Chains A and B, each alone.
Chain A
Amino acid sequence: MGIDVGGKVLETDEEGYLANLNDWEPAVAEAMAKEDGTELGEFHWEVINFLREYYEEYQIAPAVRVLTKAIGKKLGKDKGNSKYLYELFPYGPGKQACKYAGLPKPTGCV
């Protein structure tokens, strides 16, 4: 499988996660969102950028529970809850946001 980003086809796994982390650029997230029939706004990017920073520091994609808590700490309590995150990423903040951020599927996600 692959995803077409501006004419360049990048390799993905069978669930659409980027095969090579280093292939990521913001346009990848835009292209994935478009495939899902959605568009990314400022608040999506807050979460996507947060996930990329988290991965950079800890080398893992955080579990949803950990993500929710950490977002609350970083971006404010009103954003650190699953309702807010599920509204932004209806397919699951862990799965969908990690995918757009070019990260592997969160550890422990089935």
Chain B
Amino acid sequence: MSDIKKFMYVNRTAPYGTIYAWESLEVVLIGAAFEQDVSVAFVDDGVYQLLKGQDTSELGIKNFSPTYAALGDYDVNKLYVEKESLEARGLTIDDLMALKYEDEDDDWAEKDSIHVVPAAELADILEQQEVVFSF
């Protein structure tokens, strides 16, 4: 495809309680069909979306966290988690799901999709985007 744009989806809300997280994930999956250069950022309470061991049984809401593991299949493999947001919530990367993708250009080697980056670096990455969706 000729004009590939840099798309970033920015997630700031906790996974349940509002519809933003699920809506964002759906838009990412639908948008993936257009084969753009997609990345996803998780800041503030948005980092909770990637927590492992989510259990929604008492909420009566579908636990959609397994769907994040499908992002690699959709060639969405740049997931940036803001370091400060994680730390402010007493979390580390070990509390997050180990999301992987297979690198087509590297003999299908399995690689990590999640990158923990400081706010300053995330700001630089945001600066490079052509389209930003905020959820």
Q: Which residues of A contact B (CB under 8 A)?
A: 57-60, 62-63, 65-66, 69-70, 107-108
CB-based contact A63/B69 at 8 Å: no
* Residue from A62, A107, A108 in contact with B73 in the complex, judged by beta carbons closer than 8 Å: A62
CB-based contact A59/B62 at 8 Å: yes
| Residue of A with least CB distance to B74 | A66
A32 CB → nearest B CB, Å: 24
CB-based contact A60/B70 at 8 Å: yes
CB-based contact A59/B73 at 8 Å: no
CB-based contact B66/A63 at 8 Å: no
Beyond A58-B66, A60-B29, list 6 extra A-B contacts (CB 8 Å): A58-B69, A59-B63, A59-B64, A59-B67, A65-B33, A108-B29
Interface residues of B, dominant DSSP: helix
CB-based contact A108/B33 at 8 Å: yes
Digitize B57-81: 1 where CB-to-A-CB distance is under 8 Å, 0 elsewhere. Answer: 0000011101101100110000000
Tell me if B121 is interfacial: C-beta within 8 Å of chain A. Answer: no
Digitize B7-39: 1 where CB-to-A-CB distance is under 8 Å, 0 elsewhere. Answer: 000000000000000000010011011000000
Once A and B bind, how many residue pairs between them come within 8 Å at the CB atom?
33
Interface residues on B, range: 10 to 19
Set of chain A residues within 8 Å of B30, measured between Cβ atoms = 107-108
A17 CB → nearest B CB, Å: 16
Set of chain B residues within 8 Å of A62, measured between Cβ atoms = 70, 73
- Known contacts: A59-B64, A63-B74, A66-B74. The answer to whether A107 contacts B29 by CB under 8 A is yes
| Residue of A with least CB distance to B26 | A107
CB-based contact B73/A57 at 8 Å: no
Q: How far is the CA of A57 from the CA of B69 in the complex (A)?
A: 9
Q: How far is the CA of A69 from the CA of B33 in the complex (A)?
A: 13
Q: How far is the CA of A60 from the CA of B76 in the complex (A)?
A: 15
What are the nearest 6 A-B pairs in CB distance?
A: A108-B30, A58-B70, A66-B73, A59-B66, A107-B29, A59-B67
